[in-house]
Amino acid sequence: MAASGCSAPGLWVRGSGQCLGSLFTLFSKPLCSAAAAASRPLDAQRLAERLRAQKQQQKTKEPAPTNPVQRRVRELVRFTEQLQRVHPNVLAKALSRGIVHQDKDLVVINKPYGLPVHGGPGVQLCISDVLPILAKILHGHKAKPLHLCHRLDKETTGVMVLAWEKEVAHQVQELFRTRQVTKKYWAVTVRVPVPEAGVVDIPIVEKEAQGQQHHHKMALSPSYRMDDGRMVRVRSSRNAQLAVTQYRVLSSSLSAALLELQPVTGIKHQLRVHLSFGLDCPILGDHKYSDWNRLAPQKLSARILKKLGLQQSKARHLPLHLHACQLTLPALQPQMEELTLICKPPRYFVSSLRRLGLKMPSRDHGADEEATQPGAQ
């Protein structure tokens, strides 16, 4: 005789007329249900506990490095790679903690480093993927997904505007397209530009990098060039796009500078190309545009490496030091005022400023405090 739910032989007890198989069935049900539960997927609490245990185990396995350069590399990795390989729920929660403004129309986040806005080949996690989760965190399970209003490069941090309604998103996108949105960036540069304030007005075109088949970069496409001391007009490329960047130095040392950038146009990689090839002052951590002829880690001077606590062989760990610090939106409705949105730079950015002897701007510059005007959150 077999017990229901478990295979076990039944036993008769003399004089009782009872089969112990039925009793065994009663007592064996919790054991069977426990086995079944073990085969079910992990719930959130058990999964979190397992992940914490694995993380703690990794910490015990990897002792802290004694070499100061290795410690510095680990610090940079910790600052810049903490959100690239997490669960979408974890990323959405992190974005919710970085909200700098929220109203009935918009949600403004401080975009972390290294996260693409859209998906693509090789992209495991992007911001657009977690917008439905972020909306539910903010407005409950029945909330509709948020909508992107513009984009930032994967390596750029700072102000990113989202909208609750598709119509509002389209309205903000049109403001960007017609250049009615004022954008300000901070960038840490290698070397100090001369002059310390000005406008770079050089068209940009996409080209295949020399010696790098199928690898394209944005490049300058100037209208004039020097020929034996004379300025000669160059035949412009039909694919070249107008690109204008206003800049000024906020703080400088012998080998580096903190710049405020205001792009008048919005061409792909415009700020990086203008600074590197137009002013000969590439952005710190820009491993793509520091050298046109090759794709390799940025070559830094011994002075900068010493201040950053790195060796040239470890320069590849430096993240791009480009931060969208401020964005001003015109009034979306007649009764509303313009909205100025401000984001603080990430920790690695602030750390590099301190190491390079560069000063954070005062409050008069407006972009070193996390606030919004009007309607600060």
- Say what the pLDDT of residue 13 is: 46
**Region for residue 92 given its phi and psi (left: phi exceeds 0; alpha: psi -120 to 50; beta: otherwise):** alpha
- φ, ψ dihedrals at 318, nearest 5°: -70, 125
Pair 361, 367: CB distance under 8 Å:
yes
Q: Hunting for tokens 């580096």 — which residue is that?
A: 256
Report the number of distinct structural domains present in the chain.
1
Confidence of residue 26 (pLDDT cuts 50, 70, 90): very low
The percent of residues in the chain predicted with pLDDT above 70, rounded, is: 79
CA distance readout (Å), 132 to 128, 129, 136, 140, 200 = 8, 7, 6, 11, 40
Is residue 85 included in any domain, yes or no? yes
Q: What is the largest CA-CA distance in the chain?
A: 120
What is the per-residue pLDDT across 293-303, written as a single tens digit (0 to 9) for each? Answer: 777 899 999 99
Closest CA to 176 of 187, 160, 165, 164: 160
Is residue 105 included in any domain, yes or no? yes
Q: What is the mean pLDDT of residues 155-177?
A: 96
- Say what the pLDDT of residue 4 is: 47
Pair 253, 358: CB distance under 8 Å:
yes
Residue 153 falls in the annotated catalytic set: yes
| CATH label of the domain that carries residue 147 | 3.30.2350.10
Structure tokens at 238: 């039909």
Q: How far apart are CA 303 and CA 194, in angstroms?
A: 20
What is the per-residue pLDDT across 45-58, written as a single tens digit (0 to 9) for each? Answer: 777 777 777 776 66
**By mean pLDDT, which of 68-72, 173-177, 275-279, 362-366 is the weakest?**
362-366
What is the per-residue pLDDT across 301-331, written as a single tens digit (0 to 9) for each? Answer: 999 999 999 999 999 999 999 999 999 999 9
Confidence of residue 288 (pLDDT cuts 50, 70, 90): very high
Confidence of residue 175 (pLDDT cuts 50, 70, 90): very high
Is residue 369 included in any domain, yes or no? no
Query: Considering the chain, what is the average pLDDT of its residues?
Result: 83
The dihedral built from the CA positions of residue 199, 205, 210 and 214, taken in this order, carries a sign that is positive
Note if the bond before 41 is cis, omega within 30 degrees.
no
Is residue 84 included in any domain, yes or no? yes
Note if the bond before 195 is cis, omega within 30 degrees.
yes
What is the per-residue pLDDT across 188-238, written as a single tens digit (0 to 9) for each? Answer: 999 999 999 999 999 999 987 766 666 788 999 887 777 777 888 777 778
Is residue 73 included in any domain, yes or no? yes
Is residue 126 included in any domain, yes or no? yes
Q: How far apart are CA 212 and CA 220, in angstroms?
A: 18
Q: How far apart are CA 158 and CA 110, in angstroms?
A: 5
- Global pTM? 0.78
- Say what the pLDDT of residue 158 is: 97
Confidence of residue 44 (pLDDT cuts 50, 70, 90): confident
Q: How far apart are CA 308 and CA 317, in angstroms?
A: 12
Q: How far apart are CA 151 and CA 173, in angstroms?
A: 10
Is residue 156 included in any domain, yes or no? yes
| Torsion angle, alpha carbons of 136, 48, 160, 266, to 10 | -120
- Say what the pLDDT of residue 57 is: 65
Q: What is the mean pLDDT of residues 322-350?
A: 93
The boundaries of the domain holding residue 150 are 67-178
Confidence of residue 364 (pLDDT cuts 50, 70, 90): very low
- Say what the pLDDT of residue 284 is: 97
Is residue 171 included in any domain, yes or no? yes
Residue 373 in this model has a pLDDT that exceeds 60: no
The residue from 103, 129, 153, 368 that is catalytic is 153
Pair 222, 232: CB distance under 8 Å:
no
What is the per-residue pLDDT across 241-274, written as a single tens digit (0 to 9) for each? Answer: 999 999 999 999 999 999 999 999 999 999 999 9
Q: Residues 328-344, buried b or exposed e (16+ Cβ, 10 A)?
A: bbeebeeeeeebbbbbb
- φ, ψ dihedrals at 16, nearest 5°: -100, -25
Question: Which residue has better confidence, 188 or 369?
Answer: 188
Which H/E stretch holds residue 132? Answer: helix 131-139
Structure tokens at 186: 């901070």
